[in-house]
Structure 1
Amino acid sequence: MKRLTIRARLTLVYGGLFLLAGIVLLAVTYVLVEQRMPGTFGVQVNGVNPPPGSPGTPRLITPDNAEQLRIFARQIQDEARERALQTLLTQGGVALAIVSATAFAFGWLIAGRALQPLHQITGTARRIAGADTAGRGLHERIALDGPRDEVKELADTFDLMLERLDQSFDGQRRFVANASHELRTPLALNRSLLELAITRPDAPAELKQLGDTLLAVNERHERLIDGLLTLADSEQQVVDRTPIDLAEVVGHVAEQLRTELPVHRHLASARTAGDPVLLERLTQNLLENALRHNVPAGGQVWVSTGTVDGWATLVVANTGPVVPGYEVETMFQPFRRLRQERVGGGRGFGLGLSIVRAVAGAHGGSVRAEPRQGGGLVVTVLLPAEASIRTVPDNLPSTSAPAAAISTATSTVPALPHNGLPISNGGGTPQPARRR
């Protein structure tokens, strides 16, 4: 019973009660009819003269003939009684079966009609939760019409909750906008004053050294604020989408990197649609993390793009310290880093992968990371391909990327032999990023 839907359970309850009532009614009718039917005729036939003119009959019925007549009459009465009761049961049972089947059918229709307001509430909740890309948000309301019953009270309570959530998120957005201005302005002013102070011709060496240190601290604070604002903006569903190729984004970001580590690129067309600024930030965070968290010497980074099963894929792998499997998921949480990196202050703020997951989720995609054999990390990003964006189901959650697509995408990451050189897997000749 627990596996049945509410509509099926209501139909069974309605039809079952109707069937039970019909069985009880048929049983009561059977008992009443049986009691009302006479048991014997009770006619005195001894000494009765037959009607005149009956040829071949004696003038008087003997006692033996009378007894035989009583037995014959009782047999006829019993057979008629049994036939009547059997007909009552048979015809009543057939009628009950037909009416019960009709009752079950009407019960299914009535249950669907009664649950229609719940479907409306569910559809509104799905749209608000971002299951589709129609651009609806917390401003939408159920506004259920009808009598003041339990379902109407539920819909009104849900609308009240949505109104409060809408006000809360509006306040959060206003706070982010105000914080963006109020926090960036004094930091920009501090940077200008420090640059002006250390560039004076008569500035002593101690002042220039102190200014350089304060500029580094100021730049760190600016990057922290920029990361927090990007994380807050990327947690909202992307409505205005622009066709974009992840291969072009990766190529552009890789050209801007300033690193001595080789970045091997295996770039195939991976067309999707989304916000170009957020997707560029996603790619930049992945590559910067792969370069920052790497081995001191001989480290390498691999990045590949492609399309697998209707998903645009971006895979970034690197050499580096061994990452425990139980700590991979915590790395996607804000301000969380590996245990051996928490004591260092120059390795970022722990927002890189959080921003990556938020941006991917805002585009209807997903992110998965797994430790790389021999050390390092393999991060796989899956976004809906441009041709399949319009065919993605409305109830597809952001973490439901097919496991086969993820497995195929990560299979493009080469392994490292003992000599430290990458093994190409047929994805093209590795192209190191331009060093600057």
Structure 2
Amino acid sequence: MKRLTIRTRLTLVYGGLFLLAGILLLGATYVLVSRQLSNRESTTVIKGTFTPEADALNEVAEETRTDALTALLVQGGLALGLVAAAAIAIGWLIAGRMLQPIDRMTRAARRIADSPGRDRGLHERIALDGPPDEVKRLADTFDLMLERLDRSFDGQRRFIANASHELRTPLTLNRTLLEVAVERRDASVEVRQLGETLLEINGRHERLIDGLLTLAKSDRELGELSYVDLADVVSHVAAQHPAVTASADEAPTMGNAVLLERLVQNLVENGVRYNVPDGWVRVTSDTRPDGLVELVVTNTGPVMPPYELPGLFEPFRRLTTDRQAARMGAGLGLSIVRTVADAHGGHVYAQPRDGGGLIVTVTLPVAGPPRNQATGAVTGQDLHSSA
């Protein structure tokens, strides 16, 4: 059963109280008028007189009293009904006026909750004007909470970006020195093996730093969006992986082409990395009838328990098997996928494939074909220029 809104309930309370007060007032008036007419009748009619004139006078007085009380009830009831209707209408308007600040807060909270990205929209403030009453204090408290959350998320992003940039320089220097040491003519076999091992470890750290930078970047505002056909992105990424088969149907969306390419790249690399010998990876893109574009990456691989699927999209979570331990990534690939999808107003979810492996699906809002800025016509060149 659908509950009534606060405005409706307040209106019903106002109207009910007014109607109850009116009924009590009408009842009290009826009793007072009835007593007054009875007293006046007793003063004008001689009790105990049984003459025809006295009987006629008594009948006239009784009829007059009855007509007066009936008229009082009927006309008073009609007047009460009209005034009650007017009171309910005025109560509806007053309740709406009083609840406007709360409705404004609700709309702001809804916009923040529905904004793409996990922390986008926190810069918005209610900034409610008015006297310092309970509602104003509630709005100010809500604004203070948003401000602190916004500072917290922004500080977290800056820290990740600054730390990643600071760590990049020594890692790049280490890689250069190791490459020089390995390529020296007088380097022994042990030195070369050690250098290659350290280069592999250094490369893993560099990928971790790149992933953190991408994660911090995709958490920010996307800025200006451009037309991107996921079919072009899928074809471009699949061409870099011979073991990947692609079925790329038109899937137009609006977004950041670099981040969307990174999304597809991470899904494909994840499918290749966590696979079985002689396995396969398939990538498809398509436009669904419900107004969404869909990207699906399916691979063979180890059997994945369903209860572990939600944790795959958390940072630094990996499928841990002995065979894959040597070539595991940083554990940020799927986390970046989810962050990029959220920033574009999309969703990502995974389900286990029968026989092993995963089916990862990304849905994004569909976009219309791009138009020429000068003529407004759809341009074929723009349809395949995003990847």
- Alignment of 1:265 with 2:265, yes or no, is no
What residue number does 2:337 align with? 356
Match of 1:18 in 2: 18
Larger Rg: 1
Q: CA deviation at 1:317?
A: 0.8
Task: Kindly provide the amino acid, as one letter, of the partner of residue 88 in structure 2.
Answer: F
| 2:191 counterpart residue number | 207
**Is the Cα–Cα contact under 8 Å of residues 337 and 350 in structure 1 kept in the other structure?**
yes
One-letter code aligned to 1:287 = V
Equivalent residue of 1:284, what SS?
helix
Are 2:94 and 1:110 aligned?
yes
Calculate the TM-score normalised by the size of structure 2. Answer: 0.87
Change (3 A) 1:273 1:32: same
Partner of 1:51: none
How far has the Cα of 1:200 moved from its partner? 0.9
Q: How far did residue 162 of structure 1 move?
A: 2.5
CA separation of 1:328 and 1:67: change in aligned 2, threshold 3 A? same
- How do 1:7-406 and structure 2 match up within 5 A? 7-38=7-38, 39-41=41-43, 43=45, 66-129=50-113, 131=115, 137-257=121-241, 259=242, 261=243, 263-297=244-278, 299-308=279-288, 309-338=290-319, 340=321, 344-387=325-368
2:379 maps to: none
Question: What is the TM-score normalised by the length of structure 1?
Answer: 0.78
Whether contact under 8 Å (2:252, 2:369) holds in the other structure is no
Maintained 8 Å contact 1:244/1:276: yes
> Equivalents in 1 of 2:46, 2:199: separation in Å?
130
Following superposition, the deviation at residue 19 of structure 1 comes to 1.2
SS at match of 2:51: helix
Distance 2:358 2:52 in 1: 106
Kept after mapping to 2: 8 A contact 1:40/1:77: no
- Compute the displacement of 1:100 (Å): 0.9
Partner SS, residue 4 of structure 2: coil
**Maintained 8 Å contact 2:178/2:195:** yes
Q: How far 1:193 sits from its partner (Å)?
A: 0.8
Aligned-residue offset at 1:164? 2.3
Cα–Cα, structure 1 residues 43 and 278, in superposed 2: closer, same or farther, change >3 Å?
Answer: closer
Question: Residue type of the partner of 2:63?
Answer: E
Contact 2:283 2:295 in 1 (8 A): yes
More off after superposition, 105-114 vs 347-356: 347-356
Distance 1:20 1:361 in 2: 54
Provide the residue aligned with 2:6 in structure 1: 6
Residue 174 of structure 1, CA deviation = 2.5
CA separation in 1, counterparts of 2:151 and 2:21? 53
Counterpart code for 1:95: A
Distance in 2 between residues matched to 1:96 and 1:342, nearest whole Å: 85
Q: Which moved more, 1:236-245 or 1:352-361?
A: 236-245
SS of the aligned residue for 1:386 comes to: coil
1:130 Cα deviation from its structure 2 partner = 5.4
Secondary structure of 2:325 counterpart: coil
- The root-mean-square deviation of aligned C-alpha atoms, in Å, is 2.6
Letter in 2 for 1:150: E
Structure (1 or 2) with the greater helix fraction: 2
> Match of 2:352, as an amino acid?
P
Distance 2:329 2:114 in 1: 31
Q: 1:213 to 1:338 in 2, by over 3 A?
A: closer
Cα distance change of structure 1 residues 80 and 244 upon mapping to structure 2, 3 Å threshold: same
SS in 2 for 1:381: strand
Q: Can you list the C-alpha shifts for 1:191-224, whole angstroms capped at 9, x where unaligned?
A: 1111111111111111111010011111111111
Q: Percentage identity across aligned positions?
A: 60
2 CA distance for matches of 1:306 and 1:174?
A: 36
* CA–CA separation in structure 1 for the residues paired with 2:2 and 2:265: 49
Alpha-carbon offset, residue 367 of structure 1: 1.0
Structure 2: stretches of 5+ with no match in the other structure:
371-387
CA distance in structure 2 between the aligned counterparts of 1:160 and 1:287, rounded to whole angstroms = 42
Q: Which moved more, 1:192-201 or 1:235-244?
A: 235-244
Q: Distance in 2 between matches of 1:338 and 1:5?
A: 48
In 1, Cα distance between the equivalents of 2:238 and 2:85? Answer: 69
Q: Structure 1 residues 41 and 338, CA, compared in 2 at 3 Å: closer, same or farther?
A: same
* Separation of aligned partners in 1, 2:29 and 2:333: 79
- Write the deviation string for residues 405-425 of structure 1: whole angstroms up to 9, x where unpaired: xxxxxxxxxxxxxxxxxxxxx
Equivalent pair of 1:18/1:103 in contact (CA under 8 Å): yes
Aligned-pair CA distance for 1:340: 4.5
